[in-house]
C-alpha cells in the first residue's frame, strides 16, 4: 500500500490513516510536526497527531482506535512545526471531513448513511408520489417537514436537490479516481 504524501481530506471513523510530509523548511529530525483536529461543529478538540522521523521526512499515523473515538462531522486540521528551541510555526490549515463508519452505523435516522441532499431528495420524491395519489400540501418524513404551494415549486426543489445529489456523486467518483460523469458540451457555428 502506498503511503499518501499529503494530509487526508476525509477520514472514515475506525480507519487507520498514515501519511508522510516532506518539508524543506522543516526537515526531520531538527523539526517535528504536530497536527491537531478540532471539530468545527462541536468546537471540541479531537486528537493531536505527532510525527516520527522518516529520514528528513515526517511520518504521521492516526490509529483506528483514535478515529473510532471521533464524532463524525467537519473538523479543522491544523499542522505545526516545532523545534527544540521552542519555535512553533503553523504551516498547514484545512477542513477535514470525518465520516461515520458505515459498518457500524445503525439504521436509525442518525445512522442513515445517505447525505443530507440524498435524504431531502428522497423526501421530495415521496411528496411527488403522494401527490400522484391525491392532493397533498404538506409532507413529513423522518423529522423533515416539507410544505409546497404548487407543483411548480415542488419540481423546482426536486431539480435543485437532484443537482446537488448528482454533484456529490460526481465528486465521490472523482475522489475514487473515476471520471466525474459530467460533460462539457460545445457547439461551433460559422459567423453569418
In tens, the pLDDT along 100-155 reads: 888 776 544 555 667 778 888 888 888 777 777 665 566 666 666 666 567 788 88
pLDDT at residue 166 is higher than 70: yes
Q: What is the CATH T-level fold of the domain 10-99, as seen in this structure?
A: Immunoglobulin-like (2.60.40)
Pairing label, strands 138-141, 73-83: unpaired
pLDDT at residue 90 is higher than 90: yes
Phi, psi of 158 (to 5 degrees): -60, -45
| Mean pLDDT score across all residues of the chain | 82
More confident residue, 192 or 59: 59
Q: Which pLDDT does position 107 carry in this prediction?
A: 46
More confident residue, 116 or 6: 6
Q: Which pLDDT does position 161 carry in this prediction?
A: 86
Q: Are 75 and 13 contacting, i.e. CB atoms less than 8 angstroms apart?
A: no
Q: Over range 86-111, report the average pLDDT.
A: 79
Which residues are 83's β-sheet partners? 31
Q: Are 28 and 54 contacting, i.e. CB atoms less than 8 angstroms apart?
A: yes
d(CA 80, CA 32): 8
Domain positions in the chain? 10-99, 116-175
Q: Which pLDDT does position 134 carry in this prediction?
A: 65
Residue corresponding to grid cell 457500524: 104
d(CA 60, CA 91): 15
Phi, psi of 164 (to 5 degrees): -65, -40
For residue 52 the three cell numbers come to: 516520527
pLDDT at residue 181 is higher than 70: no
d(CA 70, CA 80): 21
d(CA 119, CA 140): 12
pLDDT at residue 42 is higher than 80: no
Amino acid at each position: 500500500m502506498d503511503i499518501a504524501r499529503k494530509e487526508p481530506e476525509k477520514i472514515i471513523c475506525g480507519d487507520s490513516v498514515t501519511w508522510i510530509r516532506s518539508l524543506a523548511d522543516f526537515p526531520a529530525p531538527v523539526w517535528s510536526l504536530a497536527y491537531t483536529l478540532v471539530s468545527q461543529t462541536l468546537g471540541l478538540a479531537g486528537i493531536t497527531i505527532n510525527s516520527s522521523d522518516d529520514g528528513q521526512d515526517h511520518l504521521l499515523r492516526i490509529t483506528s482506535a483514535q478515529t473510532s473515538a471521533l464524532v463524525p462531522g467537519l473538523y479543522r486540521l491544523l499542522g505545526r512545526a516545532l523545534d527544540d528551541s521552542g519555535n512553533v510555526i503553523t504551516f498547514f490549515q484545512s477542513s477535514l471531513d470525518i465520516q461515520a463508519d458505515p459498518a457500524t452505523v445503525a439504521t436509525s435516522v442518525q445512522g442513515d448513511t445517505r447525505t443530507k441532499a440524498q435524504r431531502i431528495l428522497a423526501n421530495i420524491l415521496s411528496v411527488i408520489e403522494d401527490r400522484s395519489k391525491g392532493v397533498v400540501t404538506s409532507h413529513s418524513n423522518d423529522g423533515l417537514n416539507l410544505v409546497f404551494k404548487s407543483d411548480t415549486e415542488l419540481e423546482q426543489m426536486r431539480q435543485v436537490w437532484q443537482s446537488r445529489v448528482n454533484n456529490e456523486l460526481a465528486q465521490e467518483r472523482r475522489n475514487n479516481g473515476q471520471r466525474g460523469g459530467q460533460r462539457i458540451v460545445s457547439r461551433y457555428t460559422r459567423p453569418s
